[in-house]
Structure 1
Amino acid sequence: MLFPSFEFLFLFLPITFFVYAFLSKYKWFTGAKVTLILASIVFYAYWDYRYLLLIFFSIGFNYIVGKKLKDNPNKKLLTFGVAMNLGLLTYFKYVDFFLENVNWLTGASIPLLNVALPLAISFFTFQQIGFLVDAYKGRVADFRFTNYVLFVVFFPQLIAGPIVQHKDVIPQFKRKETFQINYKNLTIGLFVFAAGLFKKVVIADSVALWATPGFDEATSLTFYEAWGSALAYTFQLYFDFSGYSEMALGLGLMFNIKLPINFNSPYKANSIIDFWRSWHMTLSNFLKDYLYIPLGGNRSGKLRKYRNLFLTMLLGGIWHGAGWTFVIWGTLHGLYNVINHSFRDIKKRLQLKTGAMETAATQIPEIKSFISIQAVFTNAVARILTFIAVIIGWVFFRAETISDALKVLKGMIGLNGAPFGTLDYLPQGSLELTVLLGLFLWVNFAPNTIEFSQRLKPNWNWALLISLLLITAILFINRKAEFLYFQF
């Protein structure tokens, strides 16, 4: 069941909210909580009821292991619990990829298992690994089973995140005010959901019509065609995933659950470091807390810090998908981060040496003005370079094969020339280029949805805005589309 579907908008969500509100009104808080659990299970089963057995096993196994770790912190038990989770994830997500490469390297003909990827397995696996680690470290205080189940299956974040840590939501399940109607949260949640729905079905699904042919259909691309396709996908992915994340946040707020923010204007970043602090923020935090820091973080010198950064991004790339394109994408961002951190480390050392002289120089008005202009120019160049580096990475992220990625990159550097209008189904007309330019300006200068929602006031202007967003989005729902991050 997709959020932008008539079944969800006009059947599942109203019924779930009505029952939740009715039970909350009569202060049957346990009933309201159980309603959310049952609704989430129905939501998940709607995709394929056969996945239920796996998620039930995962919940039961991790709850039992987590409780034992809390009572008796045992490193072997923790290792067993994490290994079981990663083993399931590896089997369902990577076994065929592994067999394909064994066959390619050895010339063998081992038959593929054709394992179907269970929906959301990457997300609920990561959530529960975090839970086990925190239980081992004594960071988990609440082990009520209903709270744990709701933590895993809560339908707004179940399918594609945000990746929620127990400390973010389980304490909210213990508060009575969580299971009461809060009209402020309901209004803000409805706006954030409407904005996310608009982003997904009106913007992301529209520019997808320009991105898909360039990557999947064209045999070669000219300079304009390649850049048009790459930019179209860059904006498709942004508005698709940020749109989903905002719908999840909005739905959570409607039920008084505050989920962590997953996006904070990542295309405004002036460096790759800043990009990863604002893109898929919950994944970045998870990788930092449960991979980068356990690897040693920055505690053992610069070289090991760079190694840990590279490995973290490489494994983050592999988490996204079983394919060499994702390995290359993770490798690219690993190298980007190493270069970025190296540059910052060198810059810090130079600033320490010249700091006193620069401070004195800035007291001179002419120099102060020059430095301000130089800072604006430097930030603009840094943002553009960061954006281009991200786009190059997205080419591999989107391409089905390495050859498809190279096809796009060859066009982007002009190896196929720059004739205009050779393939009329690609974005190179004045309308398409105007739209892409408008989206570039939007993601670079406009306030994001969360910033915009902070201005919300309960009046007719906001009611009209929310209504227009919802009505416009509903008119676009008939187009067939899925969220890009569902495949991960």
Structure 2
Amino acid sequence: MLFNTYEFIFAFLPAVLAGYFLLGRLRLTLAARLYLLAASLFFYAYWNPVYLVLILSSILVNYLVCLGFWRGVGRRKALLVAGLVFNLGLLGVFKYTDMAIGTANGLFGLHLPLQHLTLPLAISFFTFQQIAAVVDTYRGTTRPCALHDYALFVSFFPQLIAGPIVHYTEMVPQFRRLRAFVFSNRNVAIGAGFFLMGLFKKAIIADGIAAYVGPVFGALSYDHLPSFIEAWGGTLAYTFQVYFDFSGYTDMAIGLGRMFNIRLPLNFDSPYKSRSIREFWRRWHITLSRFLRDYLYIPLGGSRCSFPRRLFNVMATMLLGGLWHGANWTLVLWGAFHGAMLWIQLLWSKLHRPLPGPVAWAVTFTGLAFSMVLVRAPDLATTMAVWKGMLGFNGFALPLKLLHKWGPVAAWLADHGVTFTTLAPYWRRSKEIQHLAACLVLVLAFPNSQEIFARYFRPSRLWAFAYAACAVVGILALTKVSEFLYFRF
């Protein structure tokens, strides 16, 4: 079930909130948790009931592994390895089988048939979440809980589909607090604000600029190489689309959790304001960065080792982070691209002084834009074509007004091999450029959603008007529902 649907907003959510707080008011806290668990499993099964068996099996196996640690069984390392093999094997079978077969066919000239397994909903998120729980339990940082509490921790519907990736110690204690079952006007108001802000980001901004992405990245199928402006326009549109789509989902998830008196961790902190790639990864998909740091980078040795080994740890972490994003070699290259940018930053910090703030931001954002092509492009050929367009090798497309105004300059550039054409029909209207400029202003000028509510929220008519405006505009835009980019992940 999608957050941005009438069924969720007007049927599922009110019913779950009413039942949960009614049971809480009757002091039936166990029944309230079981009701929320049942609602979360229904939410997951709404897309395809078959995969309910998968998530329940995953929950049961991982709970038994954690239970073994809690009860002090012998051979703890063997139990840990078994838990990790189960989780990674489950993820590998459903997500990477066809990638492995296709790679083997290409390398060795085989003709093995692809399996075309349907990717279960949210398998990347609930698998990583449970890997963290198993490792934390092995380290002794978690306390025992009942099976239904563990199942609720994994399947809590606001963050189940696309995060944030939460820790056992963050969630289970919250489900046990008595005040979690008491209706809070303030929490519901703040939660509704988060939800409506996320809905606006998704339905209005992300979906609004999505139409500018396809014509550029799909142009190669029509034997058209994107020009400089087309390539940059499509790339910036996708860069902003990913941010507003994913951060919009996170805002909605945080808001839904807050309505149930559950605080989910911050997952985005104005990432496009970053002045280094390292800072970017502290602001973008924060809970994934935290997972990769705590369960991969630090166990590999982190930064407390020789400089060459540190470079290896960085690259290995980013390669696996790229692979987690999808079964496509372009995403592995995306991880390598980010690893290379982190290498450059580490080497630069050793050899040179930091760049001035605006220059550092421009360099970082440009690198991020180039990396986003690898995420959106279906193959390496498309990636190279868009990159060439961004670098000007596919020619430039400028408005006729500029050509008339700067005719001598254009003639001189043409004599030196730089050719100009009239603006392509896709870019003839100024609306696309205005939208992209507005998106750039939004990501640079406005604080993150959490900061907005922490600093500025006060119950008032102005906030009520803002809520109403977001609700009306966002809900009216739901006549054409689109999936979140991280929906089937």
TM-score normalised according to structure 1 size:
0.92
Q: Secondary structure at the match of 1:27?
A: coil
Alpha-carbon distance between aligned partners in 1 of 2:424 and 2:93, rounded to the nearest angstrom: 41
Q: Cα distance, 1:428 vs. partner? A: 5.6
Q: Indicate yes or no: 2:44 matched with 1:66.
A: no
Q: Is the 8 A contact 1:225 1:428 kept in 2?
A: no
Question: Residues 110-164 of structure 1, C-alpha deviation per residue, up to 9 Å, x if partnerless?
Answer: 1111111101000000000000101111011132212111100000000011111
Aligned residue runs from structure 1 range 32-43, under 5 A:
32-43=32-43
Pick aligned residue for 2:362 from 384, 405, 409? 384
Partners of 2:225 and 2:289 lie apart in 1 by 35
Could you say which residue in structure 1 is the equivalent of 2:384? 406
Q: How far apart in 2 are the matches of 1:486 and 1:405?
A: 23
Task: State whether residues 209 and 435 of structure 2, in contact with CA within 8 Å, keep that contact through their aligned partners in structure 1.
Answer: no
- Cα-to-partner distance string for 1:255-302 (whole Å, 9 max, x where unaligned): 011011100000000000000000000000000000001111112211
Instruction: State the distance in 1 between where 2:110 and 2:385 align.
Output: 30
Q: How far apart are the structure 2 equivalents of 1:203 and 1:387?
A: 20
- Structure 1 SS opposite 2:396: coil
| Aligned partners of 2:67 and 2:144 also within 8 Å | no
Are residue 262 (structure 1) and residue 250 (structure 2) matched? no
1:301 and 2:279 are equivalent in the alignment: no
CA RMSD of aligned residues (A): 1.4
**Match of residue 48 from structure 1:** 48
Matches of 2:437 and 2:187, distance apart in 1: 34
Partner of residue 393 from structure 2, selected from 391, 415, 420: 415
Alignment correspondent of 1:478: 479
Deviations 1:295-315 (A, max 9, x none): 111122111111101100110
Partner Cα separation in structure 2 for residue 9 and residue 217 of structure 1: 37
CA drift at 1:379: 0.3
1:162 aligns with 164
- Offset, 1:468: 0.7
Quote the residue 2:402 is aligned against.
none
Tell me, yes or no, if the aligned pair for 1:270 and 1:379 is still in contact at 8 Å: yes
The residue number in structure 1 matching 2:401 is: none
User: For residue 372 of structure 1, what is the aligned residue in structure 2?
Assistant: none
Is 1:223–1:412's contact at 8 Å kept on the other side of the alignment?
Answer: yes
Count of matched residue positions in the alignment of Structure 1 and Structure 2: 460
Distance 2:216 2:96 in 1: 27
Q: Which residue of 2 aligns with 1:360?
A: none
Structure 2 CA distance, aligned partners of 1:6 and 1:246? Answer: 18
**Residues 152-231 of structure 1 aligned to structure 2 (within 5 Å):** 152-218=154-220, 219-231=224-236
Q: How much does 1:38 deviate? A: 0.6
Secondary structure (helix, strand or coil) at the match of 1:486 reads: coil
Match of 1:371 in 2: none
* 1:373-399 superposed Cα distances (whole Å, 9 cap, x missing partner): xx9x81001001100000111000111
* Counterpart Cα distance in 1 of 2:370 and 2:470: 32
Q: State the distance in 2 between where 1:480 and 1:410 align.
A: 34
- 1:298-447 to structure 2, matched below 5 A, reads 298-346=303-351, 378-420=356-398, 422-425=423-426, 427=427, 429-447=429-447
1:461 aligns to 2:462 (yes or no): yes
The Cα of 1:343 is off from its aligned counterpart by 2.2
**Distance in 2 of aligned mates of 1:217 and 1:162:** 34
Aligned to 1:370: none
Instruction: Report the CA distance between 1:422 and its aligned residue.
Output: 4.7
Deviation at 1:207, TM superposition (A): 0.4
> Residue in 2 aligned with 1:247?
252
Tell me the SS of whatever aligns to 1:419: strand
For residue 407 of structure 1, report the CA deviation from its aligned partner. 1.6
Query: Residue 452 of structure 1 corresponds to which residue in structure 2?
Result: 452
Structure 2 counterpart SS, 1:210 = coil
Shift of the 428–304 alpha-carbon distance from structure 1 to 2, 3 Å rule, reads farther
Q: Which runs of 4+ in 1 moved over 6 A?
A: none
Shift of 1:450: 1.3
For the structure 1 residues 79 and 216, does the alpha-carbon distance in structure 2 shift closer, same or farther, using more than 3 Å as the test?
A: same
Aligned partner of residue 485 in structure 1, secondary structure: coil
Q: Deviations over 1:29-51 (max 9, x none)?
A: 11211111011000000010010
How far is the alpha carbon of 1:344 from its aligned partner?
Answer: 2.4
Partner of 2:2: 2
1:206 aligned partner, one-letter code: G
Looking at structure 2, the residues matched to 344 and 256 of structure 1 have their Cα atoms a distance apart, in angstroms, of: 43
CA distance in 2, matches of 1:346, 1:71: 52
Range with bigger deviation, 333-342 or 384-393: 333-342
Separation (CA, whole Å) in 2 of partners of 1:407 and 1:474: 38
- Once the 2 structures are TM-superposed, how far is the Cα of residue 12 of structure 1 from its aligned partner? 0.6
- Opposite residue 77 of structure 2, the aligned amino acid is K
Contact 2:122–2:487, Cα closer than 8 Å, also in 1 = yes
Q: Secondary structure at the match of 1:248?
A: helix
Equivalent residue, structure 1, for 2:102: 100
Match of 1:236 in 2: 241
How many Å separate the matches in 2 of 1:148 and 1:213?
45
Aligned ranges for residues 138-157 of structure 1 at < 5 Å? 138-157=140-159
In structure 2, the partner of 1:112 is 114
Q: Matches of 1:157 and 1:76 in 2, distance apart?
A: 31
Q: Distance in 1 between matches of 2:397 and 2:367?
A: 25
The Cα shift of 1:402 comes to: 1.0
Quote the Cα distance in structure 2 between the aligned partners of 1:195 and 1:229: 25
Contact 2:219 2:226 survives alignment (8 Å): no
Please say if residues 235 and 369 of structure 2, whose CA atoms lie closer than 8 Å, have aligned partners that are also in contact: yes
Relative to structure 2, which stretch is displaced further, 289-298 or 446-455? 446-455
Q: Which runs of 5+ in 1 are unaligned?
A: 351-374
Identity of matched residues, %: 45
Q: CA deviation at 1:447?
A: 1.7
**Is contact 2:397–2:423 with CA below 8 Å preserved after alignment?**
yes
SS of the residue 1:15 aligns to: helix
Q: Distance in 1 between matches of 2:271 and 2:262?
A: 24
1:364-421 per-position Cα deviation (integer Å, ceiling 9, x unaligned): xxxxxxxxxxx9x810010011000001110001111111111211111111111236
